Amino acid sequence: MLEKIRTALDLIYPRNCQFCTEPLCDLEPGVICASCLALAKRIESPFCQRCSLPFAGQINAPFECGYCQDIQFHFSRAVAAGRAEGVVRDCIHRLKYNRELYYAPVLANWLIEAARENIDWREIDAVVPVPLHPRKKREREFNQAELLAAALHKAFGVVVDQNNLRRVKDTISQTALSAEERRRNLQQAFAVRRADAFKGKRLVILDDVFTTGATMNACAKVLCEAGAVNVTALAVARGV
């Protein structure tokens, strides 16, 4: 019976590393071996205090990059766990576009590590995952930001509000758009059901990837207009 259960689980959670195909040992959780996990490039100091963009070289004091100085962000700062490249980017794409849900715990672990180091959760009232448009959610069958928010709730006990912020505009894909085109694409894309739910709150807006910040900024703008006193942007990966 146990062998049958193990066989069934192996069909759902493959026991070979999904990157190098090496067998995973029994004590190795997830679907990626330790060697491949070690290839993930974390966001480490020095990085921009507003958008989390990493920089090479010796910068000892907090700083803002030139990109942030030219843009009005409605969130106070952005926190990201890793660079959106290599194993980190591939895990995100396989989850989102291939529906390989066993990558969600891998992404959640990276996210929780960065969130624990960079955010004081005693000062956060709620996490708000970036919503998908209803059509997109039906097509994908899940919202990866909601999966990550559930992991934060389990790790930190933080409230997750995933019903009040909604996506009301079915926008085209942001992938091939410039920063300015992304901002225009997201105009009037989000709205809140009950503004009073966010009034006076300190919030974390959560997504899988922060590239130009256009999506999170559009969400943060709506949250601030609804009365939020502070919004922090949090993502698994930072486009570089």
At residue 59 the predicted structure's pLDDT band, cuts being 50, 70 and 90, is: confident
The predicted pLDDT at position 13 comes to: 58
The predicted pLDDT at position 6 comes to: 46
The predicted pLDDT at position 15 comes to: 78
pLDDT digits (tens, 9 = 90+) for 92-131: 999 999 999 999 999 999 999 999 999 999 999 999 999 9
- Can you tell me the mean pLDDT for 60-79? 87
Q: Are the C-beta atoms of 199 and 227 separated by less than 8 Å?
A: yes
Measured in whole angstroms, the distance separating CA 237 from the mean position of its chain's CA atoms is 7
At residue 155 the predicted structure's pLDDT band, cuts being 50, 70 and 90, is: very high
- The position carrying tokens 């004081």 is 120
Measured in whole angstroms, the distance separating CA 196 from the mean position of its chain's CA atoms is 25
State the Cα–Cα distance between residues 226 and 74, nearest whole angstrom: 12
Question: Which residues, 6+ apart, have CB-to-CB distance to 116 below 8 Å?
Answer: 155, 156
Say whether pLDDT at 203 is over 90: yes
Which is more confident, 103 or 12? 103
pLDDT digits (tens, 9 = 90+) for 127-153: 999 999 999 999 999 999 999 999 999
Work out the angle at residue 96's Cα, subtended by the Cα atoms of residues 91 and 98, and round it to the nearest 5 degrees: 85
Work out the angle at residue 234's Cα, subtended by the Cα atoms of residues 19 and 230, and round it to the nearest 5 degrees: 175
At residue 26 the predicted structure's pLDDT band, cuts being 50, 70 and 90, is: confident
Q: Domains of the chain by range and CATH?
A: 1-38 (no CATH), 40-238 (3.40.50)
